[in-house]
Chains A and B, each alone.
Chain A
Amino acid sequence: MLQKVIAFKNTKCECGHQNPVGTVLCENCGRPLDEEELKSKEVLEMRYDGMARRSQRANPNFIDRIWNFFASVKIAVYMIVLTLLGSMLGTIFPQENTFLNIDPSTYYKETYGTWGLIYYKLGLTHTYESWWFILLLVMIGASLVICSLDRVLPLYRALSKQQILKHMQFLTRQRVVYQGKIEGDAEEWVKQAAVPMKKKGYRVHTDGNALLAEKYRFSRWGPYVIHIGLIIFLLAVLARGLPGLKMDQHIAFPEGEIKHIPNTSYYLKNEKFTVEFYTEEDMPGEFRNQGKVLPKLFNTEATLYHCTADCDDPTKEPKLEAVAKHNIQVNDPMDYKGLKAYQFDYDLTPILRSVSPSLVDAKTGKELGKFKLDIKNPQRNYTAGDYSLELKEKYNDFGLDENGRPVTKTPNPNAPAFLFLIKGPNLPASGMQYIYFPKQIDKERFQQDAINEKMNGGTPPLMLDVKGMENVDFAMSTTYLNIRVDKVMPFIWIGAAIVMVGLVLGFYWQHRRIWLRIDDGVLTLGAHTNKNWFGIRREISAILKKMNLDVDEKSLDNGGKQA
């Protein structure tokens, strides 16, 4: 209670104005309120014009204490420095997300030895996703909000109701001060002085023998605009962690194939993939004849389809409608309604798409019929001439298990094999079993002929054979696209744009104020700026020169700290 009484007493200025607790300079006349401070000759602390801030309340309660914590610039700097150090730690070894397919629990130890293992164990292999790093970002966000509110409101109040006539101490204890005799009528002098000030862009307010000139006040809002932008930016970054706002997948698209993009109703077809390399002539002398290749262009001619019907019915072919066409290049992604496709990687290994084998009489070599076999999506039944072929089994990646039975090792079509049951003239009624490897290399590796002999108890009467390369269809290359959706991006850009506006406002303009008063033929001038004291001294010197007062720029400097 006593404390409150004292505080109350101290905040009443001799000009009669009642100031809130924590006020340093009277809101009205600018006189220092503290008695000790009043005796000092030091330059005044002009931050927020000496206004009281919420964080300076006497007897803070629990909420006040939290507020005070986040309102402290000291704490904010600590958080910035901690984030800085944390970020540094994350760059010592590559982060996990640098790699597409690794097992981090073994990778770091194998690649970087013991230090790699320690790095992994400390969780630094995913520094930027770790709880403490995100907590730091959240705390910086809280600090941005509270620091700004704590300061911008008093500052706004101080600047929106300024007194023209200021206390003598307020003027003589500014960082830029001039005192000297003037001749003639005081009021007339003040009027005259307003002219060069207005010319320099100041807004001038006079009150008898006193004057206040001010310009570029908006520059004071710069820091707060920056902070608003940063808050939007940070919120957007944190929102990216929420489910459903982001998609990021890498998909292989073999040339000529329409492929579904998982979790969307879109399909994408790689019409053609091109990779170009610089020729020897394009290369500088040092690189020539060294066998170095430098890529010039990666280009995927892509068509995006939207599924309009039968999308989820596996028995029916989905109905697709082409919605976009684009040449996807490294710096030129496809963008359709926020769904983006980026050129990521490529593979020039040809992939067998389909073969058109002929059914041949093993003895005479006579061609009996031909059919087209799609490797990926074969039909159940084929007819070749008078014969019918029923597909009994399909192996994508043919292999034998420990019992010698054929199995598919992986779902990838590395070594496709097809087991047919062939029926027709001159064959047993139950038909003839025949295994077929479309790739020549597999045919030899897995001994197609031996398997067929074994199944039929001797050389089979018929065989499947591809006559010439015109009957083979390859996808010559595969392109890897990075398919992304990022719904928060607009907010990231808005935040960044606001930050930039704030930076320009705050750094390329300075808020300047000049106060002056004339008492008994003596001019007292004080000036304040938030930045660039050199500039304001030069400007005041020029203004005084117009008033026939020759004052050296440097002599205006009243010492003290420069902000």
Chain B
Amino acid sequence: MNDLLSISSNMFVVAFFLYCAAFILFAVALMGRRWSNRDPVAHSKKWGKIAFIGSTLGLIFHLIFFVTRWIGGGHIPVSNMYEFMSFLSMMVMVAFTVVYLIYRKTLLGLFAVPISIIIMAYAAVFPQEVQPLIPSLQSYWLKIHVTLAAAGESFFAIGFAAGFMYLIRTVDFKSKEKRARRQQRWVEVVFFSVILVISFIATVFIFRASGYESVFTQTKVTGQPGAEQTVTQTVSYKLPPIVGPYQSKIVSYEPFLGMSKPLFNAPSWMNGVNAGRKFNTIIWSFITGIILYAILRLIARKPLGRAASPVMEGIDPDDLDEISYRAIAIGFPVFTLGALIFAMIWAEIAWGTFWSWDPKEVWALICWLFYSAYLHLRLSRGWQGGKSAWLSVIGFLVVMFTLVGVNLVIAGLHSYAGVD
């Protein structure tokens, strides 16, 4: 690793901790309003400014990370999952900064900055080496298409943050009415999903730090009888295997909490050598996620939505609705250009056809159709407030599935984006 690249990875860490600090400062700005002997408005204004300076400083270091890695690696760092996710988190901060400068709402930082932090931490799960570009990625369209697509998606992330804040502000957490209860439940589901992602990242890092590894081999027989071919593949688990790969043998198993073999093997429809490992990761995420959620519930002694709602007191819900919509309205043209039109131009040059119904393309189209529906419902059918906020939350889930889920579950031509 050359000097620039090591500077670059240090900058990544600095930016990460600055974002964390900014998040805490935003929390101080809002929660501290009710501390004694102070004027709540002045307090919020002063600490909000400090927090914004913190997040901007983080963004500057993040930009230095990006530039040094670009120069050090010789190509724009958006070509694998680590690079793309760290770029996306940077763009979320850019989008946050833009929207913050328009609306000056301190509260936005409390929800937007953690999105960036989580995406950044998620990026660090992936291998961080600079990989040389394979021929299909050697194009200046890589720069234009990927960066603009990420920029558009980042505004959707801000739309999600503001939309979710709107829900926490407006859902009646005390009501026992059927409609209110349903909304309360779904707010909890969103909280739990975020916790699930956090616990996935935490689990990976804890076991990585402890150097855990277990290895399996899987032998597959393919072909017609009489002309069988056997393929033996090895898979290495970095999390203790609760579930082993389908029809596999243990090569080495590092005991964990008295387990010396997987509790069960993956079912036959998950017959790929990595399917079992991915399934195991999902199980682990749920286990740690449920534990983390339970701890938080114990601390709060009430559903997280209800616990969070007092933070929102005194915030005008109309402003949140407007911010959510505005962020999406800013992001939509950028997303169209970057994720669809420029993607088509590149596809035309690289694959010979502007549209090949590759799963990633289809999911980008699904995102676009979803936000088109959102805009039509809002502009022509008066879906404002709660309905619109729910759509902005669901929309961001669709975006995240497009970015992460497609690579994990479906793959296709974009599979070289390197999810592991």
* Of the residues B135, B349, B376, contact of A295 by C-beta under 8 Å: B135
B341 nearest CB neighbor, chain A only: A496
B254 in the interface (beta carbon within 8 A): no
Considering the complex, which residues of chain A in the window 489-539 have a beta carbon less than 8 Å from any beta carbon of chain B? 489, 492-493, 496, 499-500, 503-504, 507-508, 531-534
B357–A90 touching, CB < 8 Å: yes
Query: Interface-forming stretch among B168-176, B183-191, B305-313, B323-331?
Result: B323-331
A91 with B363: CB separation less than 8 A = yes
Q: Does B366 contact A (CB under 8 A)?
A: yes
Are the C-beta atoms of A562 and B325 separated by less than 8 Å?
yes
Would you call A561 and B136 a contact (CB within 8 A)? no
In the complex, A296→B134 CA distance in Å? 6
B318 contacts A557, C-beta separation under 8 Å: yes
Q: Which residues of B363-386 have CB atoms within 8 Å of chain A's CB atoms?
A: 363, 365-366, 369-370, 372-373, 376-382, 384-385
Assess whether A562 is in contact with B384, with CB atoms less than 8 Å apart.
Answer: yes
A556 CB to nearest chain B CB (Å) = 12
Number of interface residues of A (CB under 8 A): 67
Contacting residues, chain B, for A95 (C-beta < 8 A)? 357
Give the interface size bracket for B toward A.
Answer: 35 or more
Select B326's contact among A76, A499, A532, A557, beta carbons within 8 Å.
A532
Checking B129, B329, B359 against A285 with a beta-carbon cut-off of 8 angstroms, the contacting residue is B129
Q: A482-B352, A534-B322 are in contact. Are A503 and B332 (CB under 8 A)?
A: yes
Q: Are B333 and A331 in contact (CB under 8 A)?
A: no
A334-353 residues with Cβ-Cβ distance < 8 A to B are 340, 342-344
A88 touches B377 (CB 8 A): no
- As a 0/1 sequence over residues 279 to 318 of chain A, the CB contacts with chain B under 8 angstroms (1 = contact) are 0001111110000001111100000000000000000000
Q: List residues of chain B with CB within 8 A of the CB of A504.
A: 333
Contacts of B316 in A (CB 8 A): 554
Beta-carbon contact of A330 and B136 below 8 Å: yes
- Interface membership of B337, Cβ < 8 A: yes
Give every chain B residue within 8 A of A282 (Cβ-Cβ): 132
Q: Which of A77, A97, A286, A287 contacts B376 (CB 8 A)?
A: A77
Nearest CB of B to A140, in Å: 10
Q: Taking the complex as formed, is A84 at the interface, i.e. its CB lies under 8 A from any CB of chain B?
A: yes
In the bound complex, how far is the Cα of B358 from the Cα of A128, in angstroms?
11
Q: Are B352 and A561 in contact (CB under 8 A)?
A: no
Which of B102, B344, B359 has its CB near the most chain A CB atoms (within 10 A)? B359
Q: A95-B357, A294-B131 known; A496 and B333 CB under 8 Å? A: no
B269 within 8 A of A: yes
Task: Collect the chain B residues with CB atoms within 8 Å of residue A94's CB.
Answer: 412
Determine if A81 and B373 form an interchain contact, defined as CB atoms under 8 angstroms apart: yes
Q: Which residues of A contact B269 (CB under 8 A)?
A: 112-113, 115
**In-complex Cβ contact of B410 among A91, A329, A531 (8 A):** A91
Contacting pair A534 B326 (CB below 8 A) = yes
Given contacts A47-B380, A286-B127, contact A90 B132 (CB under 8 A): no
CB distance from B318 to the nearest CB of A (A): 7
Chain A neighbourhood of B127, CB < 8 A: 284, 286
Nearest-CB distance from B378 to chain A (Å)?
Answer: 7
A278 contacts B by Cβ under 8 Å: yes
The answer on a CB contact under 8 Å between A507 and B381 is no
Given A329-B135, A507-B332: A87 touches B365 (CB 8 Å cut-off): yes
Assess the A296–B135 pair: CB atoms within 8 A.
yes
Residues of A close to B340: CB separation below 8 A: 496
**Hey, what's the 0/1 contact readout for A87-105 against B, CB within 8 Å counting as 1?**
1101110110110000000
Question: A286-B127, A342-B352 given as contacts; is B336 within 8 A of A331 (CB)?
Answer: no
| In the complex, B138 has a CB within 8 A of chain A | yes
Pick the residue among B344, B357, B370, B384 that contacts A84 (CB under 8 A). B370
Q: Is the CB of B130 within 8 A of A284?
A: yes
Task: Give B335's nearest chain A residue, CB to CB.
Answer: A503
B331 vs chain A, min Cβ distance (A): 9
> CB distance B135 to A297 under 8 Å?
yes
Task: Give CA–CA (A557, B369) in the complex, Å.
Answer: 32
Whether A287 contacts B131 by the Cβ 8 Å rule is yes
User: Is B264 on the interface with A (CB-CB < 8 A)?
Assistant: no
Which chain A residue lies CB-closest to B398?
A: A84
> Is the beta-carbon distance between A87 and B129 smaller than 8 angstroms?
no
B154 to chain A, nearest CB (A): 16
Q: A267–B127 Cα gap in the complex (Å)?
A: 46
Which of A74, A115, A484, A489 sits near B381, CB closer than 8 Å?
A: A74
In the complex, whether A391 has a CB less than 8 A from a CB of chain B is no
Task: List residues 262-286 of chain A with CB under 8 A from any CB of chain B.
Answer: 278, 282-286
- Cα A500 to Cα B335 with chains together (Å): 11
B108 to chain A, nearest CB (A): 13
Minimum distance in angstroms from A86 CB to a CB of chain B: 10
Give chain B nearest CB distance to A82 CB in angstroms: 10
Q: Which of B129-152 contact A (CB under 8 A)?
A: 129-132, 134-136, 138-139, 141
Known: A95-B357, A331-B135. A562 touches B410 (CB 8 A): no
Interchain CB contact under 8 A, B322 and A97: no
Does B400 sit at the interface, judged by CB under 8 A?
A: no
A138 within 8 A of B: no
CB distance from B220 to the nearest CB of A (A): 13
A342 to B356, CA, bound (A): 15
**Chain B residue contacts of A20, Cβ below 8 A:** none
- Minimum CB–CB distance from A70 to chain B (whole Å) comes to 14
Chain B residues in 8 Å Cβ range of A295: 134-135
- Separation of A330 and B139 alpha carbons in the complex (Å): 9
Answer yes or no: B28 CB below 8 A from chain A CBs: no
> A91, B362: Cβ atoms under 8 Å?
yes
How far, in whole Å, are A296 and B345 apart by their CA atoms in the complex?
22
Across the interface, which residues of B come within 8 angstroms of A533, CB to CB?
322
21 A-B pairs with C-beta separation under 8 A = A73-B381, A80-B373, A84-B370, A87-B365, A91-B359, A92-B410, A113-B268, A278-B132, A284-B127, A284-B130, A284-B131, A332-B349, A333-B352, A340-B352, A342-B350, A499-B336, A499-B341, A507-B333, A532-B322, A561-B382, A563-B384
| Minimum-distance CB pairs A-B, first 6 | A284-B129, A503-B333, A330-B135, A331-B139, A342-B352, A73-B380
